[in-house]
Structure 1
Amino acid sequence: MNTSFINIFLVFLKIGCLLLGGGYVIVPLLQSELVDKRKWITKEELIDFYALGQCVPGLIAANTAIFIGYKLRGKTGAIVTLLGLTIPPFLAIILLASILTELAKSTLMNNIFWGVNIAIIILIFLTVKEVWNTSIVDKFTLFVFILMFILSIIGVSPALLIIFAAVLGIVWKKRKEGRR
């Protein structure tokens, strides 16, 4: 597939305009635009890129966009997706910074932000649902999920959870390969 840089930029510009609430809400937007409408990537690739985006330092949404852009058109594609995704919030921050004091006093803006927060909760839920459907595929992955959930509740560091889950995955995969 040789999608044009301008098409990639415009799609990510649109996503950047709609991306409220941070990296956790990007999955439903990317799925709609890239998997369902354009078929540029598969659902599995999206979840893999999203997981990778969480594992490297930086903003999850930006990291995910970079991985997708690189898959679509290499290094230049990665730069194009990053620019498309980040220009809208950059401009919004510049605009909002100049009028922030007045906005904080506005009842209308407070009501708008309340409504946006509800929408963000829904988008986060949809992200969890998509990752769940792609990741929890058998008893072992359900076991790892439950174990990681319990360990997170008792206060184990997220970094240790990721490392521990990765080690469990490696051991499980080696064990399955040894049975063949």
Structure 2
Amino acid sequence: LFQPMWKDLRFAENQVDFLIRKIKGDSYIRVLLPSNLVKRHFIFKKLETPFIIEGSYIKVKADNISEAQNIATLITSQISKSEGRVVTLSAFRMSEIYLFMEYADKFEKGEYVSYSVSNNENPLMFSLLLKKDDYTSTDDLREKIRNYTNKRLVEVSKISKLKNMSPHEIIEKEYEK
């Protein structure tokens, strides 16, 4: 029998299950995330590899043990960073995320990141880390961002008929340039 020479509870609590998944071709690791949204924001901002959130876990592609350990270390190193306030919004389409970003840039609200979650109704999330001197209520800000997004979608819908495209398609095309 093979006994691994390493142990890393961050992504392989059960080494046998972990190794069986790898043998079957699963190239992802799952690492438990903190529940604090500010800590999560810092983790998501730092990761440079695609990931998806599944409940309380982050699922990240790692082709080998070294990559898995590096990713787990990066995630745990960001956990100590927890200063600030975060506003999160869910979205169904990437065009909504682009408009959330547009709002944050236009009104200089802070640093943002978007990511995927395993939720079929709203598979995308937007996280905005507010500037330290911004004392806006997070509920008020969330409402302002949604109102801005709806207003922009209405504006774009006026030209969408001329272009024979949906407002979402126009916005996505504009941002994917």
> Would you call these one fold, judging by a TM-score over 0.5?
no
Higher strand content, 1 or 2: 2
TM-score (norm 1): 0.28
